[in-house]
A and B are shown apart, each in its own frame.
Chain A
């Protein structure tokens, strides 16, 4: 199918979800009004590590309106530990601390009362007696042999230490003409949605059913709830018709959910926990990767990068969760867009006494891209080759696709050189360099940053079996169902919550395209989890590929039924019939219209061709394209599709004040066929804003005493409309051969390259002094101090 033949895909149609949101009619979890609801407030630890000697809740329980105070001891006796990604059974995590506190802010007890205000009042009256324990904050310190283990039962702080050798690394290093080493550090930031996490649970003892409404973006959420509470899977019903106020990966409040679900069963009333901002920041368990990269790179004097050794040391925080897997996903694009022939990758994850790490947009890919791109800049500087030219020499060429990288993933398609050329032409690169030099001549620090990177998309979670051999996952399917009702109207069911990605628009667009029906006439519904087909939620930039594929193929199945019905009615071979916008036409020009087809499908079994079910409905479960095999020899096809982005940034700042200002931002973006241009554009612009935050502003900072210093929006700084510039997007489309319309993922775009590009611009601005700043976020004080030190030294 070509663009010209498409009626709805890739057209600038409005996003259907927007209407309810601009009217203030979104249905967020905190908006749900359930009679008789009880409210939870948390008693949080003030110490980063301590033994719990006793909890005295008598004063709180005596207060009017207080219903219960729950401790970790009681809860852990009733529920199973929360799921770990790795095989680390002795790193046990419960919603409330059990016996030992492992980070400042960790929940020690939950107070349940008739209102949130009463619960907060009572939480202040709970007395927790503790004995301080040693603690460790820094990842490298946590690795030391004498470091205090955060989980003594586990024996050390090491959760994961795995070295992969893909290709002839030693030989390539020996043969290379040049080598260099570098270290870069990615600070602990997160996506910090404006809506905090919230959940309501209600237990019906007569039906033995747990109903859950949550601000959730999490694969296998209902399964995890059932497991933790030891309930049958069909006794947990998650309601997907809840709007999620932003997530970008982190809204995975399984501990909150298990806590309120237990309380709802125990107390026989609906129980609700909506984090306040402080709870969210310090103990929402939603902080992102914090990673030190040590890289050795081997290359020739002509700029050919032969091999790379990368060690990534990640600070997972106090419990394991899925955090270590964020070291696994980047394996699927470990060489970025480059033809690097061999790679050694050592992935290390350690526990520390910080809050728990959760999935953040890109699942570890943005930090890795930052490390790879910084490496490329250093190689160029070392050789005195232009940074763009160095990249051009190493980029995979359009004619080389499909291209298999050393770690086993095959990139589906791309045309990196063309995207870059289009961006340079759009931006007038020579003029941009002249502008940088003019700014420098004015006495400003000015620099150009570039980043070329990939967005692996369509996630099939292959990092799970790769890093945990007990895990046999080789599917990460997504289902959709399309129905034509007896009046002839089309309804599509999708089986997930959404947090702004426009899945209703996506589903309606692709089904409208397949059936030739205006998407605005198609209804999209979200059944609850027990009425849903299997799915894995919108993670890993997967929904355009997976939900788009499932809905399109269900619609195509339905179209086949319509063609069979129409052909049968006209007495012709279905293969000779044509379908156009709901009408079946015979080669001789006779035709049968929509209303007649619907009438036959719904009322006239006697007119149906044999083998056709009545009722006009079709479901399709989409398997991840390319997801067929378990890992072998440390290699696996990680994700199916690879979007490309090229960032070009001009920054300027005063050498003393060092307040960074983005003067120009151009991005070239190729995510294959775009389903809805508004949505993809918004994702890209929003991702760049996140990237600006990660590069310049955002960090969960802990002091030496293990206390989180950035507990509010006054300390944890996020980009406002002043910090985010107007961004120019240069569009390019290299369709994926693996998907229904040629689409790839775009949900993580922008964020995956912006930090690298901004860092590159700052390093370029610092280059006259011959210094670098190798830790994100790039703080104004660090930049100005670095310049001052360089000038003093000179």
Chain B
């Protein structure tokens, strides 16, 4: 296929020969013609037997959305009209720089004054056995697409090796053409060079939902088949059947011609700012070049290069300065965008917006008040805006609050005032995507009396699901009410916009089963929470799923992880359980032996009637517990947000004033309630008469025995803020006292916020509400008690015994010991 102007020999202009009829080569010529159409005689050599087309659009051709004619950039008429000679389908195979000629495969030789190399890149074929079998193809040109279309017509299974853009496009097209497609990707997440982990994960889920099989972290061992492709074998032994294998693992600059001609070649053909190679008569442009150490595989830098090249050719040099690249793509119909550096690092701050219901993820990375990177998934409308801010290195501190909502929002009605931006929204603008609530609906709900975030969430549901529009709702509250906004409950921590109660409600409502699941579904803004929210979530899940939830040790405070109390010198104190404060010679002897054997410097009688052994080293803890276990003692949970102690007085058995068996009841209650995890520590006491020697009226649950029965008191505290208990009720029998106690504990476990003692909890909700649930509602009380006893079936397992037997030894032993030869300075 040739288009040649008449009588080229009569043309005395300088002859520009272009090797490469692709996007860069032709664009360079277009730029040249735009500057000075008559300056050069131009001849273009192309390897493919066709005119210049848009390679990026091969994917829609494969997918059946476009035909080849649709993606032609310059048709035959363009070459003719501009007097350009095109030699297509006869690739240049050699350059003779001394003679200034090029020679093609067919043997044609053409001389040049200036030579432009625009050979683009070659697909990288991974060197595995079977790579040359028929049916293994790349995805680079129209011939590859034709081969894929032919294979798809035959149907069957296809394997695409490579989960980058090209591979996913091939997979999408083949899938649409009816093939069963498996994508094999070496890295843990798809498109890892363009997308961060979260966006890659969303993309994988979306593609799997469309029927593709995506294998990440999968390493190809060989392509198998007898005479033609039959399957792909992975290094883990898995065999995936396939009649077509598309290799799309990457591209390499096509430099063979240049290297053979003796031009300077690094990763690509090395060029200066004017795209001139080491030979002043030879230029190069596009994916085949290396400029300032960089090689580009995207189209935008290529356009920049072509402009600089053309400026140089018409002797008005501008100079190419390299390109900052962004990627804005539609992968299988899903919009993704990324730009800059999104790997994070010191000083980088993430602003994240996740909208699970709409499948949107946006992340902007800011460093020193400037955008350094952005990743958008699902909605890329603002990609160019972020990219512009990134390239200009604009200070975004004024925009920061609005940045993540995009340009329209940040610019709409007042640049730096989020309230003004919300005010500028129309009444039918959607505020909450999850629940489909408009601005008008939120405002009318506020006008009808919902004067706090919680009230809005409770009435019109705005921001009650994923929470990503919380900021908008808060601004609407402020706009509508001015200063009358009631501050809602504080959020759990900086990782979430939800308060404790919201998180807890959603855990139960959505049947969430793990900490990562809660963080994903409720849009945590940090990857793995913080030291405030993780222990709380661990407790809420433990409470919601007794016997089912696997406790996350790494989300526990050290004392609960080591089942002992850390002291300021790094040693631990150990408190064995003494039921109801009673002990005996065996226990006392065992404690005395431990104190001597492990050289404990102090033993102290605690306020809860126990003995506390101080100064035990972390690595000795399991041995200490084994010794105490041997004497029949278990963990006293003096370290936990848990039932601590049941303190008693001697009661009717010995005391002349005693009215009931307070020690006996105390022991029974402790046997019932030990081992239970709570929002905070929980102390119980039983006094045998109103003289109250066990100080029951400053305990979380206190029983004061009287002649006619048992007074039950709740919500006392002897700490910083001393609070005397409220009287819950009076009951007649020991059994009732225990039943009410179990029900109260369970109500506290289910409804108090993590780290909230019973005293502030009761002050917050009011003792009347507690009475209504425990005293007035017999069925409710019984249900609470039953849930408590059910949960206790799983929690009354002595953690010391497990550790003494060697469980979780890594918590206690050092990983290694190092004895340096030299003296430490």
Are A and B a genuine interacting pair, yes or no? no
